[in-house]
Amino acid sequence: MAGLLEIHHLCKSFDTIKVIDDFSLEVVEGTLCCLVGPNGAGKTTTMDLITGRIKPTSGKLVFAGEDITGQDEHVIARAGIGRKFQVPAVLRDLTVRQNLTVAFSRQTNPFFNLLRFNVPGLKDKLDEIATLAGLTHRLDERAGILSHGETQWLEIGMVLMQSPRLMLMDEPIAGMTEGEIEKTARIFKELRKSTTLIVVEHDMGFVREIADVVTVMHMGSLLAQGTIQQIESDPRVRDVYLGEQEAA
């Protein structure tokens, strides 16, 4: 079975520094893959490469059988990859409702959108996602005034509004309370049934709870891949990652 996303021998250098060095990964449809690794391992850079924010120096990215290497961000997003950023990026001057509406991006053609005032299917989807994200009572507030946890939720909600085939979540639970983390874990497990996710996370407890597959990155390359049990018993991982955490 071919992966939904295939990363082949990806390399990225800034000037002479190799940030991503011959990184390959295959993400199977319908799984939740956690990407872990110490700071500076290249996790966020990998996300940037997948979503087209930066272009790889060499290597190939295949999504759902299509080569997406070097494509623009919006082309990759339309192909079905949604992304939540590490530092939550919502449209702060717009209301929560407007944020979710913009994210419901089935129709992206500017000329078509000029003539569109009511988006079919929007209301149901918006209600569903707002309820899921717990933002129903905040819909008409400006996104800029939301708390940190709510902002995280709004951005997750925006990704869900896109209904992508693959969701990239960069540190989704950073700054969340214990209760919010539990809720996130519950929803991610629910999402896993219908979609594919790559989650970058530091919190090993959270990873243990949600991950089907754990991929460990180190110095821009793949260090190990497997189930959480395999990873946690892998001595190499212990050295570079878990060891570091214990020391900290």
Partner 1 sequence: MEFGSVLNALILGLSIASIWLIAALGLTIIYGAAGVINMAHGALIMLGAYSAYMLQHYVGVPYLLCIPASFVIVAVVGLILERGLIQYLYNRPLDTLLATYGVALVLVQGVRLIFGSDPKYLAVPEIFSSSFMIGSVSISTFRVIVLAVTALLVFGIWVLFYKTRFGVQVRAVMQNKEMAASFGINASRVYMLTFALGAGLAGVAGSLFGVLNIVLPTMGDSYVVQAFLMVVVGGGSLAGTIIASFASGELQSMFAFFTNDTFARFLIFVLIVVFLRFKPQGLFAKAGVRR
Partner 2 sequence: MGNLYYNKTAQWIAYAAFFAALAIIPMRIDDDFLLNQLATYGVYGLLALSISLCWGFGGILNLGQGIAFGLGAYGMAMTMQMQSQTVENPIPPIMLNNGLDYLPYLWWPFQNTASGLIFALGIPTLFCAVFGRIMFKARVSGAFFAIMTLAMLSAFYTIILDQQAYTGGVNGITPPSPLRLGSFEIDPYSSVGYWVVFFALLIATVVAKLITQSSFGLVTQAIRDDAERVRFLGYSVSGYETVIYSISGFIAAIAGCLWVMLVQYVSPAQLDVGFSISMVIWAAIGGRMSLIGSIIGAFVIQGGQSYLGDAFLSTWLLFLGGFFILVVRFLPNGLASLVEAGLGLIATKSKTATSHEPNGAKPFPAE
Q: Among partner 1, partner 2, none, what does residue 145 contact (CB within 5–8 Å per kind)? A: partner 2
Of 9-17, 35-43, 106-114, 123-131, which segment contacts partner 2 by CB under 8 A?
A: 106-114
Spatial distance between the Cα atoms of 62 and 26, rounded to a whole number of angstroms: 10
**Closest listed residue to residue 7, CA positions, set 198, 172, 170, 188:** 198
Given a contact cutoff of 8 angstroms between Cβ atoms, the answer to whether 82 and 164 are in contact is yes
Q: Facing residues of 149 across strands? A: none
Assigned token pair, 34: 């956690």
- Residue placing its CB nearer to partner 1 in the complex, 2 or 89: 89
| Total interface residues for partner 2 by CB under 8 A | 40
Which of the stretches 79-87, 201-209, 213-221, 234-242 binds partner 1 when contact is defined by CB under 8 A? 79-87
Is 82 an interacting residue with respect to partner 2 (CB under 8 A)? yes
Which residue among 65, 110, 120, 179 contacts partner 2 (CB under 8 A)?
Answer: 110
Beta strands in 77-212 (DSSP E): 81-84, 166-170, 196-200
User: Contact with partner 1 (CB under 8 A): which of 24, 31, 57, 86?
Assistant: 86
Q: Which does 91 bind (CB under 5 to 8 A by kind): partner 2, partner 1, none?
A: partner 2
| Nearest to partner 2 of 90, 173 (CB atom) | 90
- Work out how close the CB of 14 gets to partner 1 at its nearest, in angstroms, rounded to a whole number: 9
Is 78 a binding residue for partner 2 by CB under 8 A? The answer is: yes
Give me the helices (H) in the chain, please.
43-50, 73-79, 96-103, 110-114, 122-133, 148-161, 178-191, 204-210, 228-232, 235-237, 243-247
- Between strands 32-36 and 196-200, the pairing is parallel
Compute the distance between CA of residue 191 and CA of residue 31 in angstroms, rounded to an integer: 10
Of 15, 39, 65, 117, the residue at the interface with partner 2 (CB under 8 A) is: 117
Does 208 interact with partner 2 (rule: CB under 8 A)? no
Burial (CB count within 10 angstroms: exposed 0-12, middle 13-18, buried 19+), residue 199: buried
Rounded distance between C-alpha atoms, residue 245 and residue 241, angstroms: 6
Q: Which of residues 18-77 bind partner 2 (CB under 8 A)?
A: 51, 53, 72-74, 77
- What tokens appear for 207 in the block? 């990873």
- Residue 54 beta carbon to partner 1: minimum distance, rounded to whole angstroms: 9
How buried is 188 (Cβ within 10 angstroms: 0-12 exposed, 13-18 middle, 19+ buried)?
buried
DSSP 4: S
Q: Which is nearer to partner 1, 144 or 243 (CB)?
A: 144
Q: Give me the count of residues in the chain.
A: 248
Q: For partner 1, how many residues bind (rule: CB under 8 A)?
A: 4
Q: Choose the stretch contacting partner 1; rule: CB under 8 A; options: 31-39, 62-70, 80-88, 194-202.
A: 80-88
* Footprint on this chain of partner 2 (rule: CB under 8 A): 51, 53, 72-74, 77-78, 82-83, 85, 89-95, 98-99, 101-103, 105, 107-108, 110-111, 113-117, 119, 140-142, 144-145, 158, 162
